[in-house]
Amino acid sequence: MEYNDHTLNRVRHYLKNADIQALDRNDDLPEGYSRFFTVPITPKDSYNEVYPGIIIANGDYARNKEELKRIGITHVVNCAKGLKYGQFDTSPSYFKDAGIRFLGIQANDVITFDMSKHFEKAANFIDEALAKGGKVFVHCNKGISRSASIVLAFLMIKRGMNFMTAVRTVRSKREVLPNDGFLKQLAILNYTLYEAHNAY
């Protein structure tokens, strides 16, 4: 599959320098930041609303149905479904009594994992939730890579954003950094959606 190297490199540069640019304007380094690592080990917050009705989160609240209901969640996308360390074995039946709809994605946060096969289904799930006035909680383990990739794909597929616009939208609300394999898959999606027709 094709993608535009220039687009991918622009996105990489933006993501890897977003924090350093912010730090250069401040003398005090927030906890988790350093001048040598441009992205914090974990985001400052457990969850952030990155787009109206869409929250990206770590796994802290993934099993806490009461807390999810308290913040108005109607739909959950678990991007780290499974039984291994860093995964969360939730299911539709787990959330049924809370009236929360569920989508599970068994994704590993490694560059060789094909996250793109889940883009369309997850985008449809999120879009349908928002169309009904719902609020979607998209999580993985840290809320940095897998969940961010799914939300970026949604914004590109369903909201007409190109790759960079989607990244800027999400990154303005939460410290995310999808792994490089996922970034390439999103660059391919961007090429298919927005660039291929201009390539000839």
Q: How far is CA 110 from CA 18, 87, 107, 114, in A?
A: 22, 13, 9, 9
Tell me whether strands 47-51 and 54-57 are parallel, antiparallel or unpaired.
antiparallel
Identify the residue whose tokens are 């796994």.
59
Q: Which residues are catalytic?
A: 140
Tell me whether strands 101-104 and 75-78 are parallel, antiparallel or unpaired.
parallel
Q: Quick count: other Cβ atoms within 10 Å of Cβ 92? A: 12
